[in-house]
Structures are given as C-alpha cells and as structure tokens.
C-alpha cells in the first residue's frame, strides 16, 4: 500500500474509533470571560484564549469576550495571549454542564512569546513553543498611509529579510531575499502562503519586456485585508513545507470577522508622486572637425576642443518627460457576526498615474504609459455548524490594468535617450535634446491586464477535546493578457519590414495552482504536566501553466489592439506545463509544564519534476524551546524578567524546473534521397537522476525581556548549506544533441546573525513611546560548483550586462568581476590621464557583491493620549557594491557626461573612463553602494469623538504621510537601490533606471 493510502486509511480508521469513543467520555462544560488591557481597562480584541493540553482555543470578540465550548470536566490551565502583550495563565475548574468564568488583564510586553503562529499543518502554536526563529508583523501596528504595496509593508520590518525595490516605475516589483540566496539556477524568492494555501509568487516577466522591469504578483495582496504576517526564515522553520521552502516562507493571514454588531469602516487616500532625481547634464566638446574630443583623447594629443555644448533634456521644463504623478484609493469593509458565524467583506479601488507624462510636451497624439488601475475584493466567512465542526472560506479577487513605458536597458527608454544624447544645437533642434525623437519612446505601447482569483475552504472537526482534524482546499488562478503594440503611423516606419505599418504582439497566460491539505492532531497528557501532540497529514499540490502567443504586422487603418487587423507576418506559439506534488508528513511535539518544548517532524515529497529514478524525498526537522525564566530556580529580578533559549535544525528543498529532467525533441524537416522528410533533433538530454536542491539549516537563539519586559532582545545565529544545487553541466559535443544538461552539483552556504530589539521606554496615561531595531549580518558563498562530464572543475559561470557578474567558487553568488585598475599615474604631468598611463590586472578579479551583507532598520512610534500618533522608519543597507552602468556608458561609450571632457576631473575618474573606453573594463564604475533611507513618516490625528459623531462616525482619523523622503549615500549614480533587471535572480546594476519615487499621502479613516 502506498504511503498516501496508508495515511488516509489511518485518518479514516482513527476518526471512526474516535466517534465511538466520544460517546463514552464524560460530560463537558464551558469557560467564558473577558480579556482587558491591565493599564487602561479597555477590552482587547483578537486575544487567543486556549485550554492548555487540548486543541480548544478561541479569539475574543469586539468586546474582549470569549466562549470556549466542550471543555472536559475537571481542572485546566487556560492561557490568554496577544501580540504585543505578555501571556497570562490561570487554573480553571470546569464542572459538567456548567460555565466557569475567568477574566484576564494583560500587560504590554516588548517580547513576543505570546504571538500565535499558523503552522504548515494548519495548527496554531505560540512562539514560546517553536524552537526556530519566526518573524511576526502585526499589521494593525503598522501605519498604512505610507504603505502602497505588500513590498512596502515588508520592507525593514523583519531581521534577515531583504526587500530590494528595483525601480520607481508604477506597478513594478521588488526582489525579496530571506537569509541570502540559496540557488544558482532556481528562483530565490520565498514561498507565499495565504490563509493556508500556496499561491503564485513568481516574478511576472512580460513576454516581450520593457527593458528590465516586471510587474509583481506579490503586490496583488492588499495590505488593508491583512491581519498578520509570519516570516519562516529558513529550513529550520519551514521544513514541513518541503520542496518549495528552502528560501523561507511568508505566511499571510487575512482579516476575519468577530462576533458582535456590524462594524463598518471606510478609507480614502489621495497621494502625490514625485520624481526625486536631478539628472546629470549632458555635455559635449568638439574639435575643429566636429568630432568628440574627450580628455583621454586630448591627453594623447589627438584633438583639441574648440566648441562645447550642454543640455538637460530630462530636467528642462519644456522637454522633461516627468510630471507630478498621483494616486487615489477608495475602500470600505464590513465585519461582524455571532458566535455561530462571522464575516469580513471589503472592496478597494486604486488608480495611479505615475511620474511619466503623456508626451504633450512633444506634440499631440501621445498616449499615457505609466498607469495602474486596480480593483481588490475580499470576502472571508466562518461558521460553526455544530459544537464540533466549523467551516471557513476565504475569497479574494483582484483585477489590474497596467501600462508600462520602455525603460532601463530598452533601446528607446526615455532615460537612456535623454542621458546619452550629444547636446549639439542640431540635435536639440531635431530631437528636443534626446538621442532619438521622443516619438520613438511614446509610440511603443505595452500593457498587461490581470484577473486573479484566490480562494480557500477550511474545515475543523473536533470530535473529542483531544483530537482535531483540519482540512484545507484552495485555488489560485491568474489570467494574464499582455499587449505589445507599435501603431500604423509611428517613428518605426523608417525601419521598414514589420515596422513599416505597425504590428501587434499578444501573450495570454493562464496559471492554476490547486492546494489540498488534510491533517489530524491528537493531544494527550500522559502524565501530569507533560503534553503530547501528534500530527499526521497529507498534501496534494498541482500547478498548470499555459501560454498562447500571437503576432501580426501591417495593421489596417484604425486598428488599435486587435490582431484581427493585422495582415502580414503572422506567427503563433503555445506552451503547456504541468507540475504536481504529493506529500505526507508527521510531527510529534512534547511540552513540559508549558515551558519546555521539543518538536520532531518529517515530510516526504514526490514531485513530477524529479527524475524517474528518484523516489520520495524526505525532509526532517527537530527543535527545542525552554522558557527558563519560568523555572523556580531562575532569580526573580526586574532586570532580566524573561528568558527563552531555543535551537532548531531542519531541511527543505527547491524542485527543478518542470521539464528539466525530461528528454525533449524539436520537429525539423530533413532530406532523404533529395526529398523532404519529417525529422527531429534533441533539444534537451534530460536527467533521470535529477532531484531537488536541498538546504540544511541549524540555528541557535534566545529571547530576553528586561525591566519587566519593557525591553525585549531577540538574537539568532544561523548556518545554512544548500547542496545538490542545479548547474547546467557542459557535455562533449555530439551531432544532433544538446551540449549541456541539468545536474545536481553545486553547494552554496549562507550564515549570519540576526538581532531584534524592541522597547517601550515610556508608557503613561498621556504619552507612549515604542521603538524597534532590527539588524542582520549575512555571509553568502558559492563553496563548490562541481565538475563537468570529464571530471574537470566547472569554470565560473559568467553572466550579466557586459559579462560583469559571475558565480565563482569562494565568492558570493552573482559577484562583480572585472579586470581591476591596479594603478594609474599622470606620468607627463599634464593633469590628464591617457590610456597608456592606466595599468590593469591580467585577469578579472572579485570586486564585490550586488547584495547587502548587513542591514539595520529603526522604526519608532509616539502616541499622545488617544488623539495623536507619529511613526517613522529608517533603513540602512551596507556591505555591497553596484556598477554604475549609467555613468560608465555616458562617460566612456556615448561620451555625453561632463567628466569625459573635464581636464580638471579627479585623476581616479579619468582613469576609470579611459580604462572602460580603451580596454572595456567597468572596474572604475563599481562603487560602494551603502545607504541610509528615510523610508516612512506618518502623522495621524484622531478627531475628537464629539465631532466624529456629528457626521455619524464612531471614529475618524486623518493621516499625513510620506515615503522615500531622503537618501544618504556615497554612491555617485542615480540611486544605490535600483536594478535595471527588476526581479531577476542575480543580474543587477544601475542602467538608466528610474529610482524609487517619493510619495505623499493624505488619508482619511472612518468607523461606523
């Protein structure tokens, strides 16, 4: 019998036995009460109240009240816990058929041991029970006014997680890394789980591209609908997610209704978006023959400048393509219910016009191309069908229309056209100071329309107090339509061919992800004080990807977006990919006196992407947690009020590409006896032994509370090794065959330290001040790249713009490598550097990593009574380098920067320009990219209740906020944070990329 059948049979047989056993058990009672804030007496909403040693737990309603049914008669320990508060326990005696009352008054705490985390099995556990590091973001504590996306919400709020905003383009995404990069060839993005269901988090590459940036499906999530986020930072915490979790897991729990009268809420935002860049001035010096005369040519005596010209096409009021953008958001929600059923329903409409204008400065007929329109709807329902069975559903729908301009590395990106132009009078007159007519930029239209449905159904059955059965089924479906168009009458007519009278290109994608998970959890107390929790379960995942491509040229007059109006050069294509995973898992937990915890778990996966010679892949994990401060021998002192020690070990994986293990062919036309015949060639050789990449991680850490938990310190050291990393192994050449195949060869290591410090130094009736400092230090290294088919070491993998990056043993993944400038000197004393005065190294050398190795974030909030809140967030990143491709291109290749012609420019700068222009090395443009950014500032004023009631509101607040307010850096390019290749795995650099924009927001929130 297969493992899956064995698991399901066990669950079925166990359920039948338990049903019979439930009739033989003694009668039960009820526990009820209220949970309040000890300092203010205000009721606390969403407090988790649990009967320790059972699977019984509930949350408090809007009045802070709770009701726990079916509690076995006898004496029980009941615990109340809420994020931001210290847990509190009490002993309660329950009598059959009666209700026992127990109230709790919780104290504010800077240590988060009371936070409740949803695990991979669907259970809820307190952080005190988990031996691994888990980052928790309580969205209610975040000022949402400066947060415009899910990426913004995560930025700077969890130690060890790096959120890299790639550009300031509307709708573009961010690279997210948790504890470094693990894989050379596969995605390093974390797994995303919403309400227990795995959803699509892959960067969305436009089929045709706009120069490097991509939209982000991650940002389909609306922060308004999120209740909490848990960050499982690596295999030590995410092992039960198996072959998808080596990069960590982001678990999102959306808002649910609570018992009580309907609570109506409405919000509106009006925002202003600004381009913060002062673009450098274009400069050119010409000799008597009208030729460019840069310094490194002057130094050789080959030219003498006689004319100079300057222009600022990107900044000049008459020719700038930038304007002040804006965004508008309007949303509402309603929640409520009873003890039998609750609901939460919300809707939001967002419109954003980015900082690119519509081209009216250059004439009529130019279209907008930097716009976002989004509708976001969510409905979450829960219902208790009986005292033992409850059901829940979570449904989200988002529709997005996005238009993007050509940018970054695109030939007709407006920044590239503006910064590489020679500002001669003729060029300014003909092209407004741009390299090509701006019409070339505005005629290229790119759009993406997305309709996405994400839904799940959950069921919880508790036939007896010591057993719970949890089931989840979910679907994430994304339908995407992409359009690329050049109109019939355009700048591109001059190229002829398919451009002569326009063309249309379409990509239609349909992506389905189905997730089903069922588990059973039995909780016993074999001896007094020892709680045993056993969970077994099974999961099935299926991903279907389909794409249809079509192209047509020579458009009929009046045709805008329909391929039916194309008349020539037709081409079509289709792709269909299926991947599925079958899993089984088991977990055993022991808890002693609610302060010592040990967890053992294992998960097995079988995936269709594995080679046929690979069976089940197993991922074990073990962890321990000891709240030592609750031991009788621990000294009672306010200096160290809480201390927990923890350790964890675990493994998780990344599956190969869906077709990497397969032998594949291409159809061809052959010739036999001078006649055409059907034939084929081998595309990929496949690999029957291909298996997932496996990451093994261990971590040690502690949490400590000081001064009666007014100050909390969380420290974690981790070490992670990713083995069997996929490498495209070179093979000996053979007629009709591939020259490489995917093989599990490489090893990548990551290690580091994470520190989280929380404090509430001031808490009075009138003023409260809290702060959070998160910091991390990470070392990433490619340890081994493996051998080729002949047993020889595989040489470094070279990639990136102008082959500037490498995966090389002994260095971080994606490192910068170039021939270094070893020395330079002004030998003849003329103040100018010529190429012969620059000495380069013989070969490319390591020049730095494109990813930060250290980060520090500081967030702080001040509350004045109940009418004012001020919050701010600062973000530091260091220990990384960035190539200023923009500066290098302008100064050494297009020769449009001032330094190229300035004989008084620093000799180091002159040497960098000469080395790139004459020898092709970018070494002089690799810069330290450390920076500090003022990410967020918000000021919220709560309108007095008397005034709010006059307009029918129970609560009204106004918020003024700003984002990306300032940057401090020694980097000389446009911005040290950007990447011209968007969310690409490793390819990076600043190359005519619009930096993150500055936004100001006015927000109104009203409750009814």
- Give the tens place of pLDDT for each residue, 65-94: 888 888 888 888 888 888 778 888 888 999
Residue 352 banded pLDDT, cuts 50, 70, 90: very high
Given the DSSP bridges, would you call strands 28-37 and 104-106 parallel, antiparallel or unpaired?
A: parallel
Is pLDDT of 14 > 50?
A: no
988 touches 800 (CB < 8 A): yes
pLDDT at 46: 82
Spatial CA neighbour of 845 closest among 913, 912, 796, 792:
796
pLDDT at 538: 96
pLDDT at 16: 39
Is pLDDT of 942 > 60?
A: yes
Least confident of 601-610, 622-631, 664-673, 811-820: 664-673
Is pLDDT of 24 > 70?
A: no
pLDDT at 801: 94
Residue 662 banded pLDDT, cuts 50, 70, 90: confident
Question: Span 326-330, mean pLDDT?
Answer: 96
Residue 364 banded pLDDT, cuts 50, 70, 90: low
Question: Span 293-310, mean pLDDT?
Answer: 94
Query: Can you name the residues that pair with 469 across neighbouring β-strands?
Result: 461, 520
Report the residue count for the chain. 1008
Is pLDDT of 528 > 90?
A: no
65 touches 43 (CB < 8 A): yes
Is pLDDT of 365 > 70?
A: no
What span, in angstroms and rounded, lies between the C-alpha atoms of 972 and 402?
A: 32
Q: Which two tokens stand for residue 841?
A: 């190294």
pLDDT in tens, 426-461: 888 889 999 999 999 999 989 999 999 999 999 999
Helix then strand then coil, in percent of the chain rounded to 5, is 10, 50, 35
pLDDT at 882: 97
Q: Of residues 175 and 359, which shows the higher confidence score?
A: 175
Question: Span 35-40, mean pLDDT?
Answer: 84
Q: Which two tokens stand for residue 409?
A: 């590395």
Question: Span 346-358, mean pLDDT?
Answer: 92
Is pLDDT of 25 > 50?
A: no
Is pLDDT of 710 > 70?
A: yes
Question: Span 883-902, mean pLDDT?
Answer: 96
Averaged pLDDT of the chain: 90
Specify the long-range contacts of residues 892-896, CB closer than 8 Å, at least 24 apart.
Answer: 892/916, 892/917, 893/917, 894/419, 894/420, 894/422, 894/435, 895/284, 895/292, 895/294, 895/422, 896/282, 896/283, 896/284, 896/419, 896/420, 896/421, 896/422, 896/423
pLDDT at 387: 85
Share of the chain above pLDDT 70, in %: 95
pLDDT at 59: 84
pLDDT at 363: 65
pLDDT at 116: 78
Spatial CA neighbour of 169 closest among 955, 983, 897, 726:
983
pLDDT in tens, 558-598: 888 899 999 999 999 999 999 999 999 999 999 999 899 99
Is pLDDT of 13 > 70?
A: no
pLDDT at 892: 96
Is pLDDT of 303 > 80?
A: yes
Question: Span 709-719, mean pLDDT?
Answer: 94
Q: Of residues 828 and 676, which shows the higher confidence score?
A: 828
Question: Span 193-213, mean pLDDT?
Answer: 83
979 touches 164 (CB < 8 A): yes
What span, in angstroms and rounded, lies between the C-alpha atoms of 910 and 903?
A: 8
Please identify which residue in the block is written with the tokens 């778990």: 601
Q: Of residues 16 and 307, which shows the higher confidence score?
A: 307
For residue 235, count CB atoms less than 10 angstroms from its CB and return exposed for 0-12, middle for 13-18, buried for 19 or more: buried
pLDDT at 8: 40
593 touches 557 (CB < 8 A): no
DSSP string of 142-164, one letter each residue: S--TT--SHHHHHTTSSTTEEEE
Least confident of 8-12, 23-27, 470-474, 951-955: 8-12
pLDDT at 302: 93
Query: Can you name the residues that pair with 729 across neighbouring β-strands?
Result: 741
């Amino acid at each position: 019998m297969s493992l899956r059948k064995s698991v399901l049979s066990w669950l079925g047989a166990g359920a039948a036995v338990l049903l019979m056993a439930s009739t033989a058990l003694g009668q039960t009672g009820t526990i009820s009460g209220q949970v309040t804030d000890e300092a203010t007496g205000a009721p606390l909403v969403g407090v988790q109240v649990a009967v320790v040693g059972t699977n019984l737990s509930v949350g408090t309603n809007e009045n802070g009240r709770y009701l726990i049914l079916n509690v076995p008669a006898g004496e029980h320990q009941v615990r109340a816990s809420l994020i931001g508060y210290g847990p509190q326990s009490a002993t309660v005696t329950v009598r059959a058929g009666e209700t026992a009352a127990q109230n709790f008054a919780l104290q504010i705490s800077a240590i988060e041991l009371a936070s409740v985390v949803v695990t991979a099995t669907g259970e809820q556990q307190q952080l005190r029970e988990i031996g691994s590091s888990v980052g928790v973001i309580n969205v209610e504590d975040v000022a949402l006014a400066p947060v415009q996306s899910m990426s913004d919400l995560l930025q700077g709020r969890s130690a060890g997680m790096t959120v890299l905003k790639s550009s300031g383009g509307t709708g573009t995404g961010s690279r997210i890394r948790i504890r470094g990069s693990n894989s050379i060839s596969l995605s390093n993005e974390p797994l995303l789980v919403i309400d227990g269901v795995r959803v699509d988090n892959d960067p969305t590459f436009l089929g045709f591209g706009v120069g490097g940036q991509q939209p982000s499906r991650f940002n389909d999530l609306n922060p308004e609908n999120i209740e909490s986020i848990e960050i499982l930072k690596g295999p030590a915490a995410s092992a039960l997610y198996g072959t998808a979790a080596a990069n960590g897991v982001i678990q999102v729990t959306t808002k649910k209704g609570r018992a009580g009268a309907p609570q109506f809420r409405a919000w509106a935002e009006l925002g202003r978006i600004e381009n913060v860049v002062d673009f450098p001035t274009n400069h050119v010096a010409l000799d008597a023959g009208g030729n460019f005369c840069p310094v490194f040519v002057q130094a050789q005596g080959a030219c003498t400048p006689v004319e100079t010209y300057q222009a600022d096409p990107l900044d000049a009021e008459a020719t700038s393509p930038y304007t002040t953008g804006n965004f508008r958001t309007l949303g509402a929600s309603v929640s409520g219910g009873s003890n039998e059923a609750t609901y939460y329903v919300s809707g939001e409409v967002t419109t954003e016009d980015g900082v690119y204008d519509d081209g009216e400065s250059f004439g009529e007929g130019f279209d907008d191309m930097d716009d976002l329109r989004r509708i976001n709807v969510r409905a979450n329902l829960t219902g208790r069908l009986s005292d033992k069975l409850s059901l829940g559903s979570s449904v989200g729908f988002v529709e997005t229309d996005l238009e993007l301009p050509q940018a970054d590395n695109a030939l007709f990106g407006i920044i590239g056209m503006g910064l590489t132009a020679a500002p001669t009078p003729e060029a300014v007159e003909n092209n407004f100071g741009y390299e090509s007519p701006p019409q070339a930029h505005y005629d290229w239209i790119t759009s993406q329309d997305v309709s996405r449905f994400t839904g799940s159904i959950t069921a919880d059955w508790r036939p007896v107090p010591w057993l719970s059965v949890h089931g989840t089924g979910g679907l994430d479906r994304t339908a995407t339509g992409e359009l690329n168009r050049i109109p019939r009458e355009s700048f591109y007519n001059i190229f002829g061919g398919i451009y002569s009278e326009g063309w249309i290109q379409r990509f239609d994608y349909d992506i389905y992800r189905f997730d089903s998970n069922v588990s059973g959890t039995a909780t016993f107390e074999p001896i007094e004080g020892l709680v045993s929790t056993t969970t077994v379960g099974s999961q099935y995942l299926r991903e279907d990807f389909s794409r249809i491509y079509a192209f047509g040229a020579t458009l009929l007059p009046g045709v805008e977006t329909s391929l039916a109006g194309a008349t020539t050069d037709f081409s079509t294509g289709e792709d269909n990919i299926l991947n599925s995973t079958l899993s089984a898992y088991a977990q055993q937990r022991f808890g002693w006196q609610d302060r010592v915890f040990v967890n053992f778990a294992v998960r097995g996966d079988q995936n269709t992407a594995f080679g046929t010679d690979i069976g089940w892949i197993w991922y074990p994990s073990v962890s321990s947690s000891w709240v030592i401060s609750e031991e009788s021998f621990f000294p009672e002192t306010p200096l160290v009020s809480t201390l927990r020690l923890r350790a964890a070990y675990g493994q998780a994986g990344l599956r190969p590409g869906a077709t990497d293990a397969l032998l594949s062919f291409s159809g061809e036309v052959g010739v036999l006896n001078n006649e055409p015949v059907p034939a084929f060639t081998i595309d990929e050789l496949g690999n029957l032994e291909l298996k997932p990449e496996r990451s093994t991680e261990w971590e040690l850490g502690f949490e400590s509370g000081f001064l009666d938990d007014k100050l909390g310190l969380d420290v974690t050291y981790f070490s992670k090794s990713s083995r069997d990393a996929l490498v495209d192994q070179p093979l000996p050449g053979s007629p009709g065959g591939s020259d490489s195949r995917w093989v599990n060869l490489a090893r990548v290591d990551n290690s580091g330290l994470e520190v989280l410090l929380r404090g509430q130094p001031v808490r009075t009736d009138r003023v409260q001040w809290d702060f959070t400092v998160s910091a991390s230090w990470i070392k990433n290294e490619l340890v081994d790249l493996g051998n080729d088919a002949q047993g020889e070491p595989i040489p470094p993998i070279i990639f990136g713009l102008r082959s500037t990056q490498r995966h090389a043993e002994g260095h971080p993944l994606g490192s910068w490598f170039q021939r270094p400038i070893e020395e330079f000197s002004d030998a003849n004393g003329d103040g100018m550097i010529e190429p012969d005065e620059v000495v380069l190294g013989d070969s490319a050398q390591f020049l730095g990593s494109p990813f930060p190795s250290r980060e520090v974030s500081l967030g702080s909030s001040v509350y004045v009574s109940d009418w004012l809140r001020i919050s701010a967030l600062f973000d530091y990143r260091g220990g990384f380098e960035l190539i200023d491709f923009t500066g290098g291109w302008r100064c050494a290749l297009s020769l449009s920067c001032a330094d190229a012609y300035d004989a008084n420019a620093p000799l180091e700068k002159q040497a960098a320009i000469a080395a790139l222009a004459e020898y092709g090395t970018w070494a002089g443009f690799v810069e330290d990219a450390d920076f500090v950014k003022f990410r967020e500032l918000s000021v919220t004023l709560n309108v007095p209740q008397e005034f709010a009631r006059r307009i029918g509101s129970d609560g009204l607040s106004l918020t003024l906020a700003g984002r990306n307010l300032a940057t401090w850096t020694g980097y000389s390019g446009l911005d040290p944070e950007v990447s011209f290749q968007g969310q690409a795995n490793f390819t990076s650099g600043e190359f005519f990329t619009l930096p993150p924009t500055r936004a100001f927001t006015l927000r109104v929130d009203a409750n009814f």
